[in-house]
């Protein structure tokens, strides 16, 4: 058998034990905060029915869904269809050529040659994509009625000529499966329903730096409640979780879709809200002049821009920004409603001051505008040059796509991979995140191995991660093993230690060594 070069599919990654310890540190920290706020964990299958996912992410999103081939002998099914498909297309081409010589018609040699060429293309296309026969023939651009060929004669009425080889797909995100879950289990869950999920998702995107085909999402949502207390609690969750992870300077930016709609209304451009917000969302990247240029290119007038500019350039405290917004949006009911909602969230936060985060009203924040209907969140660290490390917002009718109308919700997501990069760059992972085993029991021979087994069990019963190195290796090799795995403590057992009952206990970082009894070693490790 020829040797195979080991590799993983593009856009996927292996994670080493060291990386997994660090990733789990992030996940466990975030999960602990979710649970503290009453969120319960669920998981949904890796695969969903294809019909569940398609049509939920737009045309571009649908192209990125990983489809899963049906199990079973579909190759035999394709061959059976091929056996039907080729003779039918041959019959069609033959009739087309004969029709060109019908008296009174002027034969067009080049046209029928092109039909033949397209036939080959369509044949290969059908084999590659498994499209149905009617679609394949339609690609030839031949009108059957002109050739006096019936659909029955071609066999187009046969359902067996359509072959679906994929009814399932890999999960594209966690939101749509969550919506499906809520509808499917609506009689079993208690509303408001607060759930979190930490699971991988897959997208058939072009792999590049920082963009993968398989990656984890870390989401929390509450559905069935329109209370703005939920928005405030998500601000608190971001603040607590990121503070626990060691970040000391980060901002939680907040905006509201209703405010953005109000801005569009006051310049009579309600139908152009997407053009407006796409432009102002780029303020940090292209500056005010760039935003103005883009707005002019999108059909906005100088008069529109004169009204928009003061709103885009709001300065001052959150309270001062809201006061200015209320004046600017005085004629927009929806805009004032957005201001009221933001003010309510700020009021909740005043009662529960944040530990670390800076909460900032940012009118240029417009992420997911087509999706969100109320509050919009984005989190950025100020310690490292990095994109957003979290985001989310309020959405109406999450479950409407599955027939359960009017169930409002709000949710957030943590960008775990970006948070990992931030902690790595700032050296914020605790020392314990670099190790899994806390103590290694070493020995000189079989007698030492057997003597160490009771100690090993005592340590493990105290939830101390411990290993016993198998007898037969030199002590030097055992110590190298401990160093390579960043194990902080070792216990060495030889004949002298067995006789005295005092074992050599060593701190691998400082090199300090002392003689301790089994009882005292356990006490020392328990702390």
Residues 259 and 340 in one domain: yes
The mean pLDDT value for 456-480 works out to 96
Residues 270 and 362 in one domain: yes
The mean pLDDT value for 39-57 works out to 93
1 in a domain, yes or no?
no
The predicted structure's pLDDT at residue 277: 80
Residues 156 and 174 in one domain: no
Residues 270 and 376 in one domain: yes
| pLDDT of 483 over the 80 cut | yes
| Domain span at 457 | 435-526
382-391, 433-442, 459-468, 487-496: least confidently modelled range: 433-442
The predicted structure's pLDDT at residue 224: 95
Q: Which contacts (CB < 8 Å, 24+ apart) does range 270-276 have?
A: 272/298, 272/299, 272/300, 273/369, 274/369, 274/370, 275/299, 275/300, 276/300, 276/308
| pLDDT of 403 over the 80 cut | yes
CATH number at residue 491: 3.40.50.800
CATH number at residue 344: 3.30.930.10
5 in a domain, yes or no?
no
| pLDDT of 167 over the 90 cut | no
Instruction: Tell which of 431, 456, 490 closes a domain.
Output: 431
% residues pLDDT > 90 (the chain): 58
The mean pLDDT value for 256-285 works out to 86
35 in a domain, yes or no?
yes
Taking CA atoms, 439 is separated from 20, 449, 483, 505, in Å, by: 20, 15, 11, 10
The predicted structure's pLDDT at residue 306: 84
| pLDDT of 511 over the 70 cut | yes
| pLDDT of 397 over the 70 cut | yes
In the structure, what pLDDT confidence band is assigned to residue 166 with cuts at 50, 70 and 90? confident
Task: Work out how many domains the chain is built from and give that number.
Answer: 4
In the structure, what pLDDT confidence band is assigned to residue 156 with cuts at 50, 70 and 90? very low
Instruction: Tell which of 362, 382, 402 closes a domain.
Output: 382
% residues pLDDT > 70 (the chain): 81
Residues 108 and 29 in one domain: no
The predicted structure's pLDDT at residue 431: 79
Would you call 514 helix, strand, or coil by DSSP? Answer: strand
DSSP 173: -
Residues 138 and 16 in one domain: no
* Residue listed under structure tokens 């503290």: 36
Residue bearing the bigger pLDDT, 2 or 19: 19
E strands of 277-419, at which residues?
358-361, 375-381, 390-395, 409-414
CA distance 230 to 234: 6
The predicted structure's pLDDT at residue 161: 41
32 in a domain, yes or no?
yes
Residues 217 and 271 in one domain: no
117 in a domain, yes or no?
yes
Residues 340 and 276 in one domain: yes
CA distance 252 to 239: 8
pLDDT tens for 224-259 read: 999 999 999 999 999 999 999 999 999 999 999 999
In the structure, what pLDDT confidence band is assigned to residue 160 with cuts at 50, 70 and 90? very low
125-139, 281-295, 461-475, 489-503: least confidently modelled range: 125-139
350 in a domain, yes or no?
yes
Residues 305 and 424 in one domain: no
Instruction: Tell which of 365, 382, 399 closes a domain.
Output: 382
| pLDDT of 126 over the 60 cut | no
- The kind and range of the H/E element at 82 are helix 74-99
In sequence order, the 6+-apart residues with CB closer than 8 A to the CB of 233 are 37
Residues 291 and 318 in one domain: yes
Residue bearing the bigger pLDDT, 299 or 182: 182
317 in a domain, yes or no?
yes
CA distance 189 to 232: 23
Residue bearing the bigger pLDDT, 444 or 124: 444
4 in a domain, yes or no?
no
CB 513 within 8 A of CB 504: yes
110-114, 339-343, 440-444, 455-459: least confidently modelled range: 110-114
Residues 263 and 351 in one domain: yes
In the structure, what pLDDT confidence band is assigned to residue 429 with cuts at 50, 70 and 90? very high
In the structure, what pLDDT confidence band is assigned to residue 147 with cuts at 50, 70 and 90? low
DSSP 14: -
And the tokens for 86? 């080729």
- Bridge partners of 68, per DSSP, are 168
Residues 347 and 264 in one domain: yes
The predicted structure's pLDDT at residue 159: 39
| pLDDT of 145 over the 70 cut | no
What is the rounded average pLDDT for all residues in the chain?
86
The predicted structure's pLDDT at residue 269: 84
């Amino acid at each position: 058998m020829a040797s195979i070069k080991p590799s993983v599919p593009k856009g996927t990654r292996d994670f080493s034990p060291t990386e997994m310890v660090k990733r789990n540190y992030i996940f466990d920290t975030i999960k602990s905060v979710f649970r503290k706020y009453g969120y319960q964990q669920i998981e949904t299958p890796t695969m969903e029915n294809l019909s569940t996912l398609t049509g939920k992410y737009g045309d571009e999103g649908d192209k990125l869904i990983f489809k899963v081939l049906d199990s079973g002998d579909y190759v035999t099914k394709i061959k059976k269809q091929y056996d039907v498909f080729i003779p039918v297309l041959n019959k069609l081409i033959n009739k087309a050529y004969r029709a060109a010589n019908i008296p009174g018609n002027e034969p067009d040699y080049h046209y029928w040659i092109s039909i033949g060429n397209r036939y080959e293309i369509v044949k290969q296309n059908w084999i590659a994509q498994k499209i149905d026969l009617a679609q394949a023939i339609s690609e030839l651009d031949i009108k059957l009625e002109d050739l006096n060929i019936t659909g029955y004669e071609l066999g187009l009425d046969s359902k067996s000529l359509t072959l679906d080889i994929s009814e399932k797909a890999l999960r594209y995100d966690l939101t749509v499966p969550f919506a499906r879950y809520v509808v499917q289990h609506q009689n079993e869950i208690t509303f408001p329903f607060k759930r979190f999920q930490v699971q991988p998702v897959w997208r058939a995107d072009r792999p590049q730096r920082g963009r993968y085909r398989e990656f984890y999402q870390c989401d929390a949502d509450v559905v069935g409640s329109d209370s703005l207390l939920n928005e405030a609690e998500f601000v608190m969750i971001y603040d607590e979780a990121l503070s626990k992870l060691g970040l000391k300077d980060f901002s939680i930016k907040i905006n509201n879709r209703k405010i953005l709609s109000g801005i569009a209304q006051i310049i009579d451009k309600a139908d152009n809200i997407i053009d407006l917000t796409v432009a102002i969302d780029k303020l940090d990247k292209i500056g005010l002049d760039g935003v103005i240029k883009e707005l002019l290119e999108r059909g906005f007038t100088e008069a529109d821009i004169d009204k928009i500019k003061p709103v885009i350039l709001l300065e001052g405290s959150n309270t001062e920004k809201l006061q200015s917004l209320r004046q600017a949006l005085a004629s927009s009911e929806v805009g004032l409603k957005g201001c009221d909602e933001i003010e309510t969230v700020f009021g909740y936060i005043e009662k529960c001051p944040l530990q670390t985060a800076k909460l900032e009203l940012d009118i240029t924040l417009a992420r997911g505008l087509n999706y969100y209907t109320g509050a919009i969140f984005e989190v950025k660290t100020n310690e490292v040059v990095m994109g957003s490390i979290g985001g989310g917002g309020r959405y109406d009718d999450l479950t409407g796509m599955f027939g359960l109308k009017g169930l409002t919700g709000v949710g957030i997501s943590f960008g775990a991979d970006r948070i990992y990069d931030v902690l790595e760059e700032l050296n914020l992972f605790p020392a314990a995140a670099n190790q899994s085993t806390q103590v290694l029991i070493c020995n000189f021979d079989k007698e030492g191995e057997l003597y160490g087994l009771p100690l090993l069990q005592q340590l493990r019963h105290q939830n101390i991660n411990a290993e016993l190195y198998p007898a037969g290796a030199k002590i030097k090799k055992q110590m190298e093993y401990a160093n390579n795995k960043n194990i902080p403590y070792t216990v060495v057992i030889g004949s002298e230690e067995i006789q005295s009952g005092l074992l050599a206990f060593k701190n691998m970082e400082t090199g300090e060594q002392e003689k301790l009894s089994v009882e005292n070693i356990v006490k020392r490790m328990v702390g």
